[in-house]
Amino acid sequence: MEAQLSPHDLVRPWRRATLVASAIAAVELVGLLLLVLVIVAKPLAHTVQRHTAAKVAVSPPVLHVRKHTQATRKGAVAAKPTVSRHETKVLVLNGNGRNGAAHAAATRLQALGYRIAGAADAKRQDYATSVVMYRTGFRAEGVRLARDLHVPVVAPLDGVTPKALQGGQLAVILGAT
């Protein structure tokens, strides 16, 4: 004779199967989340590293332009430019990768009275900030150009030969900001 199963005994296998299926689904969900995290985290980490490297590469010998006074040391005032804007030649280099940025900046500079030595792409396209660089003896003109363009960083020529300036005294490397 067969023993009759109670309703409670009939439900038990389904309950166990539901718990096992839920546990498997939870493990799959955690696995998918980890996979998405790995896929997204790697490119994000590379982007952060590139931006950090760009900021470090631009930052070494810089002088920040002050808005009201150009004092470089306590009690010392920066020299006034000796060459007018019409006599100052500027090389404009696009270091941010945006198409037409160098030519647009060159047009703006011409409207301000500067002579343009050339407009082209920089060797690198990952500059984080714009930089004004000057040849020896043209620091005051570099500071004036930086003020005209609202560029926060002014530095002597670094890595650019005077010959590469195409006859110019100043160079502007356009960055992302």
Mean pLDDT for 53-57 is: 56
The whole-angstrom separation of Cα 49 and Cα 36 is: 20
Instruction: Identify the pLDDT of residue 70.
Output: 41
Instruction: Identify the pLDDT of residue 54.
Output: 59
Q: Token pair for residue 130?
A: 């714009």
* Chain segment 102-120, per-residue pLDDT in tens: 999 999 999 999 999 999 9
Instruction: Identify the pLDDT of residue 63.
Output: 42
Q: Residue type for 132, please?
A: V
Instruction: Identify the pLDDT of residue 11.
Output: 58
The whole-angstrom separation of Cα 164 and Cα 161 is: 5
Instruction: Identify the pLDDT of residue 12.
Output: 63
Say if residue 168's pLDDT is above 70.
yes
CA-based torsion, 150, 151, 156, 160: positive or negative? negative
Higher-confidence position of 147 and 82: 147
Instruction: Identify the pLDDT of residue 71.
Output: 39
Distance, CA of 66 to chain centre: 22
- Give me the chain's average pLDDT, please: 80
Nearest to 92 by CA among 76, 79, 74, 104: 104
Mean pLDDT for 118-136 is: 90
* Chain segment 58-87, per-residue pLDDT in tens: 444 444 444 443 434 444 456 788 889 999
Taking residue 41's Cβ as centre, other Cβ atoms within 10 Å add up to 10
Mean pLDDT for 157-172 is: 82
Mean pLDDT for 129-153 is: 92
Instruction: Identify the pLDDT of residue 66.
Output: 44
Give the β-pairing of 153-156 and 131-134. parallel
Instruction: Identify the pLDDT of residue 123.
Output: 87
